[in-house]
Amino acid sequence: ADNCILDFFSFFQYEPLEDRYILAEIYQKLARPENAIRQYKNMVLVENNRHGISEPYRYFNFSNFQLLAALKLSLLYENLEQYDLAEKTLKEQILFINRNYYNFSPSTNEGIFWIENKEIYNISLYDFYQRMINKFPRDYQWQEKLGLYIHDFLKWSISIESYISNETSNYIRPRNT
């Protein structure tokens, strides 16, 4: 059935990835979440392969594109009350972004792409934890997870700041004469 619908979409001027987004949305509206999950998982793989450090996509135009399939998959899991899978999906995507974040200069389109996606997923994970705390106020597991996430995020931010200041100080430091 997926192929019939995807064949129909192929007659239009959509990119194949957009076809899968449309198909996943249709499955969600038809209350067939297992099919939507399958489409989103495929899209996560395609998006991550496209944006990982692989030669075929090395010169891909990063402008106006974001890694949204994992975010949509996480929201779908949350709507299905599969909270552990929603959290896992967001955390895995953040790890993927963190691994690729250092491979591009922040002043290029690719660097801006990774910075924007890193921000989107960090905010999404924080918001997810806030929703879980509001939904389950007596379950301290979510508060603990939020606290650990903030701690790890701040630890990462401080290490990046010290790395950047060490790198720039090599250029600023006066010579011994």
CA separation for the pair 36, 44 (Å, rounded): 12
Burial per residue of 144-176, b for 16 or more beta-carbon CB atoms within 10 angstroms, e otherwise: ebbeebeeeeeeeeeeeeeeeeeeeeeeeeeee
Give yes or no for a contact between 125 and 149, defined as CB atoms under 8 angstroms apart.
yes
Q: Is residue 17's pLDDT more than 90?
A: no
Q: Is residue 126's pLDDT more than 90?
A: yes
Which of the pair, 152 or 164, is modelled with greater confidence?
Answer: 152
What local confidence, expressed as pLDDT, does residue 49 receive? 76
**pLDDT tens per residue across span 46-75:** 877 776 544 444 444 444 456 788 999 999
